[in-house]
């Protein structure tokens, strides 16, 4: 006699088999081994109801999907018996962080505000005739490049119950998410920071003489002009870290635009290179007005000063009646530029 359904199930990686309620009942009654009793014993152990041979018990444990009249979709008819295990956590989408990746110089462990001394005008050398006594004296001029502590903060909250039950742990996931948020915020500040609460970004520096007017979409001659103006200012201090940063839309146009009418090569090559320099695209390149921008820079000239490490403060008390824990982070950092001559920026750039 055959009763019940026969779904295909798998136990502990064993080959898939048909499950028969009738076979399970008969095997238990006859005190015999079978696949169904293996399933019952596995469920018994998971429920903490003791181990042992299934035939020694007066009951068997049946997978919920086999219970008559129940399904996984209907309320009160089995939907409440289905559960979903947590898989790998999917983080939120964020703007791509590129500046540290491109070689920005990181100064960790700072304790106080810092002034970096710089030569604006260095010593000069000149050729002299033999026995000449008239040597022109040069006096180098100096300046200070300041780093002053600025703070990024984040505040999130979650329930105690979620903290206890979640897999993977919600606190670790939040910390990872906050670290990614800080990296994206620092990148945007390096490009477009206002210099008040955030660092002063490259697009808000005094760079009138290093601004290339595109007056439309990207073109290869304008890209070359950016490279030229940096070179003419002796700004190519580290060619290896010299790279373009722009928006994804400008990248798309550059991939579809030839360098010249007689050249088939696009401005932006498949190797992510423009005019011989690495190129990156990120939504951080948009300014607050959403304008298209492009910058060419020697990114080791960007100094990122880090004061201590990320500080995390837990507050389980403020919302204790609701069973909510608050998590607040503080990240003290600043960014500045050693030589503005090592950068060129765009104006009037469009995506079409």
312: Cα separation from own chain's centroid? 19
pLDDT at 22: 55
Q: For residue 96, give both structure tokens.
A: 């791509």
Residue with more model confidence, 183 or 165:
183
d(CA 142, CA 132): 30
User: Residue 98 falls within a domain, yes or no?
Assistant: no
pLDDT in tens, 124-153: 777 777 777 677 777 666 777 888 999 988
User: Residue 239 falls within a domain, yes or no?
Assistant: yes
Last residue of a domain, one of 34, 50, 81: 81
pLDDT at 236: 95
User: Residue 101 falls within a domain, yes or no?
Assistant: no
Residues 178 and 312 in one domain: yes
Mean pLDDT over 155-177 rounds to 67
Domain that holds residue 296: 145-349
Residues β-bridged to residue 18: 8
pLDDT at 68: 45
User: Residue 33 falls within a domain, yes or no?
Assistant: yes
The pLDDT of residue 64 is above 60: no
d(CA 41, CA 18): 17
Residues 179 and 71 in one domain: no
Residues 74 and 155 in one domain: no
Residue with more model confidence, 317 or 282:
282
User: Residue 73 falls within a domain, yes or no?
Assistant: yes
DSSP 3-state assignment of 129?
A: coil
The pLDDT of residue 9 is above 90: no
Last residue of a domain, one of 81, 106, 134: 81
Cα–Cα nearest to 286, from 336, 249, 334, 330: 249
Asked whether 296 and 226 are in contact (CB, 8 A), the reply is yes
DSSP 3-state assignment of 168?
A: coil
Report the run of H or E that residue 22 belongs to, with start and end.
Answer: helix 21-29
Residues 153 and 271 in one domain: yes
DSSP 3-state assignment of 222?
A: helix
Q: How confident is the model at residue 349 (pLDDT cuts 50, 70, 90)?
A: very high
User: Residue 86 falls within a domain, yes or no?
Assistant: no
Residues 158 and 77 in one domain: no
Residues 167 and 310 in one domain: yes
Least confident piece of the model among 58-62, 136-140, 191-195, 261-265: 58-62
Long-range contacts of 81-90 (CB under 8 A, 24+ apart): 85/167, 86/166, 86/167, 86/168, 89/168, 89/173
Residues 43 and 160 in one domain: no
User: Residue 125 falls within a domain, yes or no?
Assistant: no
pLDDT at 19: 59
d(CA 42, CA 9): 13
Q: Looking at mean pLDDT, say which of 74-83, 112-121, 178-187, 219-228 comes out highest.
A: 219-228
How many independent structural domains does the chain possess? 2
Residues 190 and 267 in one domain: yes
pLDDT at 3: 38
Residues 150 and 77 in one domain: no
User: Residue 96 falls within a domain, yes or no?
Assistant: no
């Amino acid at each position: 006699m055959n009763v019940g359904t026969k779904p295909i199930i798998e136990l502990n990686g064993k080959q898939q088999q048909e499950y028969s309620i009738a076979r399970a009942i008969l095997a238990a009654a006859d005190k015999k081994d079978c696949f169904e009793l293996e399933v019952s014993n596995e469920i018994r152990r998971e429920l903490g109801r003791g181990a042992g041979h299934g035939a020694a018990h007066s009951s068997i444990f049946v997978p919920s999907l086999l219970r008559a009249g129940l399904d996984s979709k209907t309320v009160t008819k089995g939907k409440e018996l289905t559960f979903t295990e947590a898989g790998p956590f999917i983080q939120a989408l964020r703007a791509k962080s590129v500046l540290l990746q491109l070689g920005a110089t990181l100064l960790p462990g700072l304790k106080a505000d810092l002034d970096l001394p710089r030569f604006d005008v260095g010593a000069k050398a000149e050729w002299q005739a033999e026995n000449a006594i008239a040597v022109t004296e040069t006096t180098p001029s100096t300046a200070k490049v300041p780093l002053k502590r600025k703070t990024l903060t984040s505040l999130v909250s979650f329930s105690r119950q979620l903290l206890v039950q979640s897999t993977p742990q919600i606190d670790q996931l939040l910390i990872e998410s906050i670290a990614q948020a800080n990296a994206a915020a620092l990148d945007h500040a390096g490009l477009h920071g206002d210099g008040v609460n955030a660092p002063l970004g490259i697009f808000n520096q005094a760079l009138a003489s290093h601004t290339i007017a595109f007056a439309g979409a990207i073109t290869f001659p304008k890209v070359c002009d950016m490279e030229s103006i940096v070179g003419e200012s002796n700004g190519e201090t580290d060619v290896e870290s010299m790279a373009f940063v722009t928006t994804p839309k400008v990248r798309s146009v550059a991939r579809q635009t030839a360098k010249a009418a007689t050249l088939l090569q696009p401005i932006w090559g498949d190797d992510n290179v423009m005019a011989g320099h690495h190129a990156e695209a990120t939504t951080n390149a948009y300014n607050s007005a959403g304008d298209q921008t492009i910058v060419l820079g020697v990114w080791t000239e960007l100094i990122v000063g880090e004061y201590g490490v990320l500080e995390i403060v837990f507050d389980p008390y403020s919302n204790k009646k609701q069973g909510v824990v608050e998590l607040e982070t503080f990240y003290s950092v600043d960014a500045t530029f050693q030589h503005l001559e090592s950068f060129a920026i765009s104006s009037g750039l469009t995506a079409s």
